[in-house]
Amino acid sequence: MQFEPVIGLEIHVQLATASKIFCSCSTEFGKPPNSNTCPVCLGLPGALPVLNRRVPEFAAQLGLALNCEIRLDSQFARKNYFYPDLPKAYQVSQFDRPICENGWLEIETESRGKSRIGITRIHMEEDAGKLVHAEGSDESLVDLNRAGVPLLEIVSEPDVRSAEEAKAYMEKIHAIVTAIGVSDGDMEKGHLRCDANVSLRPHGQKEFGTRTETKNLNSFRFVQQAVVYEIERQREEILDGKTIVQETRLWDTDRKITFSMRSKEEADEYRYFPDPDLPIVELSAELVETFRKNLPELPEAKQQRFMAELGLNNYDAKVLSAGREMSEYFEKVLTHGAAPKLACNWIIGDLTRVMNESGKSLSEIGLLPEHLADLTKLIEKGEISSKIAKTIFEEMLVSAKTPALIVEEKGLKQVSDEAELGRIVDELLVANQQQVEQYRTGKTQLLGFFVGQMMKQTRGKGNPAVINRLLKEKLDV
């Protein structure tokens, strides 16, 4: 029997506000445990929340970017449950009057091409604290620095049909939230967490099957792996004649499996009710219109512009437009006079490799856009070969010197002087009579051998174009 996967995703996005959602405590990461706290986020009796105005503003901006209707009078609700990281024993969230509803997002994959994923709703809520299970101890510690950090939860319709689409969806959400600046999108710090709801149904069947929800997937790769696993697991269960139970599962990153955390039957009676401490969140229609007008260029539009105006191909344009930091960096390199394709190759090639290897962001690597631009210009002018450029690039990562200075200090300038190169070519031909013979009797692929020898003789500094021309002139007599 053939099955079709049906997938709906819930993504929690941490907002880029300086302070928490209902108090003035800092949201800064990595502070000593419980130092970013006050009576409000500690949930002390009698403390009253005051909404951070940036939160509904960010929510509305994201809603607009995801084609949602924006509710001008949304409401906070209490979601009641007990857990040691939740001192109030309820989480302030939104229930029946969320700030955004009925949107959509278009994604593109190899397997299904373009597809439109419905956005059911986006609501505002506060994060919970964190339990720390200290190693070698049977105690658990509570850190409430994260309690009250503002989140948006984006709930999709069950429109996703494969693990590949689930990953593409999460990547697109990441690209959009960072492009409009509502989140820093730092995956390492858990700024984007995805819950994947997965079910199967026989091909052609209209009704959905029973779903499981795999929680807290905090990387694009984990979402893809967990969905692949869950589809396969459910397929095998069904083929074995078993029934899927609705349950919450977790992803084990080491063993690469999902496992049951709790079944839904016993869970989830949150007794939502409107939070009496918080007034209706009123947004004016004018403010929403202002947001709509001022929405920054979205990744999709940026990709199209990179293709139309700069002549980049689909792939390059997509990679460069996906993250705000990278696209801004790329455009800065261009303002310093770099050729788009060359700048693109360096950024998505060597620079991305360095980012991946070091785990650093572009700003942490600190390579100045003007230095990268200068490097590409030296290559274009033929002053250095692309091989030498790699050496200079590595040096720039550690020394903050301009490429021109590195070229000068290390004597890396490309040798284009015809007389000098011609002399070396002559010597080479004399020293390799046999190969010259073979070349002249038709084995012209030996040209590569001669070019290689020339690069060796010039220690990579010979201008390949001049070398090629001189070799041909002297061999083709």
User: Where does this chain bind Zn ion (CB under 5 A)?
Assistant: 23, 25, 38, 40-41
Cβ-Cβ contacts under 8 Å for 465 (sequence gap 6 or more): 382
- Secondary structure of the chain in HEC code, one letter for each residue: CCEEEEEEEEEEEECCCCECCCCCCECCCCCCCCCCCCCCCCCCCCCCCCCCCHHHHHHHHHHHHCCCEECCEECCEEEECCCCCCCCCEEEECCCCCCEEEEEEEEEECCCEEEEEEEEEEEEEECCCEEEECCCCCCEEEECCCCCCEEEEEEECCCECCHHHHHHHHHHHHHHHHHCCCCCCCHHHCCEEEEEEEEEEECCCCCCCCCEEEEEECCHHHHHHHHHHHHHHHHHHHHCCCCCCCEEEEEECCCCEEEEEEEHHHCCCCCCEECCCCCCEECCHHHHHHHHHHCCCCHHHHHHHHHHHHCCCHHHHHHHHHCHHHHHHHHHHHHCCCCHHHHHHHHHHHHHHHHHHHCCCHHHHCCCHHHHHHHHHHHHCCCCCHHHHHHHHHHHHHHCCCHHHHHHHHCCCCECCHHHHHHHHHHHHHHCHHHHHHHHCCCHHHHHHHHHHHHHHCCCCECHHHHHHHHHHHHCC
* Least Cβ distance, residue 384 to ligand ADP (angstroms): 53
* Least Cβ distance, residue 367 to Zn ion (angstroms): 38
| Among Zn ion, ligand ADP, none, residue 25 binds (CB under 5-8 Å by kind) | Zn ion
Nearest CB to ligand ADP, comparing residues 146 and 211: 211
| Among ligand ADP, Zn ion, none, residue 60 binds (CB under 5-8 Å by kind) | none
* Least Cβ distance, residue 161 to ligand ADP (angstroms): 10
Quick note: the x/- pattern for ligand ADP over 155-174, rule CB under 6 A, is xxxx----------------
| Among ligand ADP, Zn ion, none, residue 10 binds (CB under 5-8 Å by kind) | ligand ADP
* Least Cβ distance, residue 201 to ligand ADP (angstroms): 8
* Least Cβ distance, residue 27 to Zn ion (angstroms): 10
Restricted to residues 372-411, the positions that interact with ligand ADP (CB under 6 A) are none
Nearest CB to Zn ion, comparing residues 144 and 467: 144
| Among Zn ion, ligand ADP, none, residue 38 binds (CB under 5-8 Å by kind) | Zn ion
Give the tokens for residue 162. Answer: 């494969």
Nearest CB to ligand ADP, comparing residues 2 and 356: 2
Nearest CB to ligand ADP, comparing residues 158 and 340: 158
Residue nearest to ligand ADP (CB): 8
Restricted to residues 93-122, the positions that interact with ligand ADP (CB under 6 A) are none
Nearest CB to ligand ADP, comparing residues 161 and 377: 161
- Is the distance from CB of 152 to CB of 182 less than 8 angstroms? yes
Quick note: the x/- pattern for ligand ADP over 411-450, rule CB under 6 A, is ----------------------------------------
Nearest CB to ligand ADP, comparing residues 11 and 144: 11
8 belongs to the binding site for ligand ADP (CB under 6 A): yes
Nearest CB to ligand ADP, comparing residues 117 and 425: 117
# residues near ligand ADP by CB under 6 A: 14
* Least Cβ distance, residue 88 to ligand ADP (angstroms): 21
Restricted to residues 196-215, the positions that interact with ligand ADP (CB under 6 A) are 197-199, 208, 211
Quick note: the x/- pattern for ligand ADP over 119-158, rule CB under 6 A, is ------------------------------------xxxx
Q: Which stretch, 8-16, 99-107, 122-130, 307-315, contacts ligand ADP (CB under 6 A)? A: 8-16
